[in-house]
Structure 1
Amino acid sequence: MGQDKRAVCCLCCQKGVVSLRSALERSAYCCGESLRLKADIDNQSEEEVRLKLKLIQHVEFFIDRGVLGVNKEATHTVLEYRGDQIHPHTRHKFDSSNSLVVPVMPPTLVGVCRLMQMYYVLKVGALPDAYNLRYPRYQVCLLFKNYDFHKVAFFEIP
């Protein structure tokens, strides 16, 4: 479960508070499954806000060259969702049920290979279209359908 509360403001004038509480049903999903996310948005600001979700793939490559090593990082947006406008001074509950289906992509690889690791982060936000602030993030583990769950590394959600 993640939650955050932010004051929406423009320079020196505060326009209200937007709070977001979100929870994933679990932290490991297979390709083709629906992400089960529940969110509660309380928009006490003067502007309309919108729920935004992004599933981002992070890939890190490592090469050891004696004392010096070389690494490269790449990120790709795999899934993106923009909800309907939430009017000022209202609350909105979101339940993804079957609307957020995980596309086909490689599984999470953390601690398996010393040359590369791949993991996924789900970013959740509720902001006016003009703002780009960061809200709760979830580490999501993607698996093959017949994968042994005892070999999967799960991560603490900050």
Structure 2
Amino acid sequence: MASTRRTIQFENNSPKVCYSGDLVRGKAEIYFPIPTRVQDIYLTFFGKGFCEWSEGGKQIIGSKTYLDERVDLLQNSSEAGVVIPSGNNSYPFEVRLPSTIPTSYEGTLGYIRYCTALHIIGSTEKLDPLVEAFTVIHPLNLNNSPTYREPMKVRKFTKFNISCCLFCVESDELQLYARLPVRGYCSGQTINLKLDVINKSYQEVLRFLVQFIQEVTYTANNGKQKVERIAFKKRVAEGVRADVKGRHTRKVNITVPSLPPTNFSADVCGSRYMFIVTAETPMCHRNPSFEIPIVIGTSPISSELYASMTDASDTNRASAPPLSAPNTSVNSTNVPHYPDGDPPTYEEAMRSVVAPKMTKDFLPKYPTYRGQTSYASDEPSD
């Protein structure tokens, strides 16, 4: 005997990627092999954030519900039930997602997940709910704040001890200057890092290690936090000898993998991003390093709004200050989620950071852009 078949389809949205604040439309399709009496048919939409880790022999847990909606599909249901004819039956639905819900995320210590479930109540055939996961993107349009279009400049000065003994005399400075054309990028874009080096010290730099880092902050119900740093990509640039004077330039290109946008207001799982640049030296000397914060968005900086490199001034800080959220609402109805002429593809998150037991064969998809711009190009690295 044939069995009941069910599907949940999102209208014009085969990858099932939605944005916060969207009106999600679609249809639930049910095939009954014979006329079937049911009491109710409905959809639920559910979203939850969860994190968990051990600390001092205790389990620390964080949890929050972001979405909990029900959409009734039968117009005239009753206790006596309704007989659904055999064959294919289609039930349209629509639901408005809250504008504040965060982006889907799957991490090693927690997740933010969204799903919809189709429930058929009262059928003689026992049917568990059909559950379909989908991705939610909380939009971050990088054109909404001029801060993201400004160059990012960081410098780091370091002195080395002449020997490894106590009371050593310090050498002249190793001067490191790092520069990014802009402060905000999207997945798929290539970040062009320029590193200028002036080595006035006696100490050779063997190489420069550049790491693209995601820093995830998990927040528990009691306010405790657990911070995890994940190195997605690493690049190595040529070092600088101590006896070669003058300014030396190293260029490093790193393409942003498919990742969730920066989350400025995480309450369970939040992400921010940075480069960590390390000058590796021989022997017993410490390796000077510094951070370059960047913002990952969902809509790239347009070429028309790209600010000139001369618009920003140098900074004397060893590490640049953290970037903050824009004042402009990213969910404004008159701001599109992505540029009309350059829509993104949606690519699955990198599997290397996802705990397999959590995914159940589903990975969130994030907007990815492959086009080159004046501030993000595949220029040769050193």
Take 2:256 and 2:264, find their aligned partners in 1: how far apart are those partners? 19
Deviation at 1:129, TM superposition (A): 4.6
Equivalent position amino acid for 1:3 in 2: R
Deviation at 1:62, TM superposition (A): 1.4
Match of 1:115 in 2: 268
Deviation at 1:92, TM superposition (A): 1.0
Structure 1 gaps, min length 5: none
If you compute each CA radius of gyration, which structure gives the higher value, 1 or 2?
2
Identity %: 21
Deviation at 1:148, TM superposition (A): 9.6
Take 2:300 and 2:236, find their aligned partners in 1: how far apart are those partners? 31
CA deviation string 1:93-145 (max 9, x = no partner): 1233xx3222222221222x42221111212233415533333x22111123x
Equivalent position amino acid for 1:55 in 2: F
In angstroms, what is the RMSD of aligned CA positions?
2.5
Take 1:3 and 1:30, find their aligned partners in 2: how far apart are those partners? 24
Take 1:16 and 1:82, find their aligned partners in 2: how far apart are those partners? 25
1:92–1:116 CA distance, 2 compared to 1 (3 A): same
Match of 2:212 in 1: 55
1:100–1:32 CA distance, 2 compared to 1 (3 A): same
Deviation at 1:25, TM superposition (A): 0.8
* Equivalent residue for 1:3, pick from 148, 155, 179: 155
CA contact (8 A) 2:185 2:300 kept: no
CA contact (8 A) 1:41 1:93 kept: yes
Deviates more, 1:83-92 or 1:32-41: 83-92
1:129–1:28 CA distance, 2 compared to 1 (3 A): farther
Identify, as 1 or 2, the structure richer in strand: 1
Equivalent position amino acid for 2:157 in 1: K
Match of 1:94 in 2: 250
Structure 2 gaps, min length 5: 1-152, 303-321, 325-382
**Is 2:268 the partner of 1:134?**
no
Take 2:219 and 2:224, find their aligned partners in 1: how far apart are those partners? 6
| Pairs within 5 Å for 1:39-54 | 39-49=195-205, 50-54=207-211
In the superposition, the TM-score normalised over structure 1's length comes to 0.76
1:105–1:42 CA distance, 2 compared to 1 (3 A): same
1:19–1:107 CA distance, 2 compared to 1 (3 A): same
Deviation at 1:147, TM superposition (A): 6.8
